[in-house]
Amino acid sequence: MRFLTAPTRFLFFTGKGGVGKTSIACAAALQLAEAGRRVLLVSTDPASNVGQVFSQSIGNTITAVTSVAGLDALEINPEQAAAAYRERIIGPVRGLLPKKEIESITEQLSGSCTTEIASFNEFTGLLADPSLVADYDQVVFDTAPTGHTIRLLKLPGDWTGFLDAGKGDASCLGPLSGLEKQRALYAGAVQTLADPSVTSLILVARAQASSLAEIARTADELSTTGIKPRGVVINGVLRAGTAGADSLAAAVRKREQAAIAGMPASLAAIGRDIIELKPENMVGLPALRSLLDATTATPPKAVPPSLGDLPGSLDTLIDELAADGHGLIMCMGKGGVGKTTIAAAIATRLVALGHPVHLTTTDPAGHLESTLGEAAASAGLTVSRVDPAQAVADYRSHVMNTKGKLLDDAGRAVLAEDLMSPCTEEVAVFTQFSRLVNQARSGFVVMDTAPTGHTLLLMDAAGSYHREVIRNMPSGADYTTPMMRLQNPGYTKILLVTLPETTPVLEAGVLEDDLERAGIRPWAWVINQSLAATKTSSVLLRYRAGQESGPIDAVRKRAGRLAIVPLLDREPIGRTGLSQVAP
């Protein structure tokens, strides 16, 4: 593999969710360690599954991978990082300040801004503090899905500029406590990220037009920060000769080759590696060793999947949703499982049934418009995007025109400075999210959510707002918060979208548990891109279909309602393509 030829000290693997970043990062770390290097594998993904790949618990401290000499791993857990960050700030004043003041500070430090800053502190420390990684030849980063990664990689520049401008006394003072002390650390992180002799950024994609377009956008956005990609990896490609007489495999192979041939020109000059689709799921050392092997072993004779009667199709769930006449429908799950496709299919079918629908996405790296194609112009369908940059601009304008209207020039200048805080994005995005939630009182709002970590941060913000409302409401007052609407099963229907593979199902289960702790019960599960639900005759695809039995059975035990969407022979784009998803 080109990206492992003369590897730099730091290796970053990034790309759209679900393209195999974790598998490739783990396989690269394993290969380097088995070549005699000392390697640290770090996940900055809020929905990390590095521990599942190596079949052991990792967590928020550097842990030796027991099965691989020379390999340590670390999962930067946002919740644990935030808890430690809070304690560093509150601990010294606990017992010195009144209880109510401590509660107020704790609430300030309970939002998603704190979570992001805390994770960011750990991330930049590994890049800029030589003592933390002095024992390692290589540090391999399994980064979060693209939108989160861009935010994470830009934060060093954002915070450095914010501090340089002297704006450390913003409204999010609690989360920003102590940032001034980190100025040199952040500047060092920026320098390390932009130095090609030290850091390599590897863009990972599937052989899909949307996935390749996403890494092209990533490359363009990161280039503005001085970070240049070193390589492109296209993962999970069907090799020539795999299809045989099977029409599904032939269609997939043709689609993949067309996507590679038509990849954005900006990627053409970057060195490229292609990894073939392997028979096994990437869990355990033998599977990881095979991933970067240029040859693909012929799978054993395929055994037809024994799944009994497959669950119903997506259109059955949509008919049940349509009977309510209105409501919030949220498609949630790990990046890359097809939430956008499922959300678009639900929205277009509801419109076809005569219901007005507002289809929106909270995913910074979403591709809703390209999925809808000509269906975006359907009568009765409104399409929008919660864009962080636009949300911040709208929020700043609103605050300056309302609260700022009552201030003198000096007060307006202070307020404008306050609104330049990076934490303003958290408030602005949540404001737009809340408006969308409320719209479902009178019609359907279908929401394509961001990958799991982002979505949980939005839920966290909803919870913080809910607690603040309760604290300030007079006794007996009537009120409804966004969190109360999310917890109402008659108002909000959450569909957990996953793939028929072990890791995505485990991660969807973790998400379900997190939601239930917040008093939110998922309404249904959708298993997307199932080979078991097709009639493929390809030996490789039938073998992989046989491995779906366990994950599907695991979902059956959890789900009150379940639909399976087969892998399609044509990409589900536009009105015709989406109609295959919910026929």
* End position of a domain, from candidates 229, 259, 291: 291
Bigger pLDDT: 309 or 84? 84
Instruction: Answer whether residue 320 shows pLDDT above 80.
Output: yes
Residue 342 shares a structural domain with residue 198: no
Q: Which of 242, 257, 291 is the endpoint of a domain?
A: 291
| pLDDT surpassing 60 at residue 473 | no
Nearest-angstrom CA–CA distance, 570 and 173? 51
For the cut 80, the answer to whether the pLDDT of residue 185 exceeds it is: no
- The active-site residue, picked from 22, 200, 424, 502, is 22
User: What is the pLDDT, as a whole number, of residue 159?
Assistant: 55
pLDDT of residue 526: 96
Q: Is 411 a catalytic residue?
A: no
Q: How sure is the predictor about 365, in pLDDT bands with cuts at 50, 70 and 90?
A: low
**Co-location of 283 and 336 in the same domain:** no
Is residue 20 among the annotated active site residues? Answer: yes
CB neighbours (10 Å) of residue 561? Answer: 16
Q: Return the minimum-mean-pLDDT range out of 166-170, 376-380, 395-399, 527-531.
A: 166-170
Pairing of strands 381-385, 71-75: unpaired
The answer, yes or no, to whether residue 357 has pLDDT greater than 90, is yes
| Whether residue 322 sits in one domain with residue 276 | no
246 is a domain residue:
yes
User: Is pLDDT of 168 > 50?
Assistant: no
3-state secondary structure of 319: helix
Q: Which residues contact 227 (CB under 8 A, 6 or more apart)?
A: 153, 193, 194, 199, 201
Whether residue 344 is found in the same domain as residue 483: yes
pLDDT of residue 475: 62
pLDDT of res. 308: 56
Whole-number mean pLDDT of the chain? Answer: 80
Checking if the pLDDT of 2 tops 60, the result is yes
How far lies 452's CA from each of 144, 246, 412, 490, in Å? 10, 35, 37, 23
Query: How high is the pLDDT of residue 173?
Result: 41
Q: What pLDDT is stored for residue 172 in this prediction?
A: 44
Q: What residues pair up with 511 in beta bridges, in sequence order?
A: none
What are the pLDDT digits (tens) for 411-436?
Answer: 888 778 767 665 566 667 777 778 88
Q: Which of 14, 15, 16, 45 is catalytic?
A: 45
Residue 559 has pLDDT above 80, yes or no: yes
pLDDT at 476: 60
Pick the more confident residue, 314 or 300. Answer: 314
pLDDT at 174: 44
What is the pLDDT averaged over residues 376-380? 91
Q: Longest C-alpha distance within the chain, in Å?
A: 78
Q: What percent of the chain has pLDDT over 70?
A: 79
**Mean pLDDT on 309-316:** 79
Residue 35: the pLDDT is 94
Confidence of residue 274 (pLDDT cuts 50, 70, 90): very high
Q: Is the pLDDT of residue 460 over 90?
A: no
Q: Indicate whether 284 and 329 sit together in one domain.
A: no
- In this predicted structure, what is the pLDDT of residue 175? 45
**Range scoring the smallest mean pLDDT among 40-54, 551-565, 569-583:** 40-54
State the catalytic residue, choosing from 20, 188, 336, 404: 20
324 lies in the same domain as 228: no
Mean pLDDT confidence for 360-367: 74
The one catalytic residue among 16, 21, 154, 493 = 21
The secondary structure of 253-291 as a DSSP string is HHHHHHHHHT--HHHHTSEEEEEEPPSS-S-SHHHHHHH
| Catalytically annotated residue among 23, 210, 421, 492 | 23
Span 364-393, average pLDDT = 83
State residue 474's pLDDT score: 57
CATH number at residue 140: 3.40.50.300
Residue 33: pLDDT above 90?
yes
Of 7-21, 123-137, 172-186, the one with minimum mean pLDDT is 172-186
CA distances, 324 to each of 321, 347, 355 (Å)? 6, 14, 11
Number of domains present in the structure of the chain: 2
Provide the residue range defining the domain that includes 433. 314-392+422-581
Domain-embedded: residue 220: yes
Tell me whether residue 1 is in a domain: no
Evaluated on CA atoms 508, 511, 517, 523, the torsion sign reads negative
The answer on 318 and 251 residing in a single domain is: no
8-state DSSP, 478: -
As given in the structure block, the two tokens for residue 235 are: 């993962």
> What's the rounded mean pLDDT across residues 461-475?
54
Q: Are 291 and 282 in contact (CB under 8 A)?
A: yes
Give the model's confidence band at 123: pLDDT under 50 very low, under 70 low, under 90 confident, else very high.
confident
Structural domain includes residue 11: yes
> What would the pLDDT profile of 194-253 be if each residue is shown by its tens digit?
888 988 989 999 898 878 888 888 888 777 777 788 899 999 998 887 777 788 999 999
User: Is 297 part of a structural domain of the chain?
Assistant: no
Please say which residue of 291, 324, 344 terminates a domain. Answer: 291
Question: Does 136 score more than 70 pLDDT?
Answer: yes
Residues 98 and 244 in one domain: yes
Q: In the chain, what is the straight-line distance between the N-terminal and C-terminal CA atoms, in Å?
A: 42
> Which residues have a Cβ under 8 Å from the Cβ of 237 and sit 6 or more positions away?
207, 256, 260, 274, 275, 276, 277
Does residue 534 have a pLDDT over 70?
yes
What integer pLDDT is reported at residue 122 of this predicted model?
A: 76
Region 3-24: mean pLDDT is 86
**Given 199, 211, 464, 503, the catalytic residue:** 503
Flag whether 321 is in a domain. Answer: yes
Same-domain pairing of 71 and 123: yes
| Annotated catalytic residue, options 18, 335, 574, 577 | 18
Q: Identify the residue with better confidence: 465 or 311.
A: 311
**Same-domain status, 374 and 252:** no
Structure confidence at residue 129 (pLDDT): 76
CA angle 454, 458, 459 (to 5 degrees): 115
**Of the ranges 69-78, 324-333, 363-372, 426-435, which is most confident?**
324-333
Q: Which residue has the higher pLDDT, 437 or 431?
A: 437
Mean pLDDT of 97-101: 79
Q: Is residue 333 included in any domain, yes or no?
A: yes
pLDDT for residue 3: 86
Is 22 known to be catalytic?
yes
Sequence-distant (6+) residues with CB within 8 A of 343 are 329, 331, 359, 361, 368, 446, 447, 448
**pLDDT above 80: residue 93:** no
What residues have CB less than 8 Å from 58, skipping those under 6 apart? 43, 48, 50, 51, 73, 74, 75
pTM above 0.85, yes or no: no
d(CA 394, CA 520): 30
pLDDT more than 90, % of the chain: 27
- Does 430 lie in the same domain as 335? yes
* Residue 166 belongs to some domain of the structure: yes
Q: Are residues 350 and 499 in the same domain?
A: yes
Residue in the structure block whose two tokens are 């997939």: 252
Inform me whether the pLDDT recorded for 567 exceeds 60.
yes
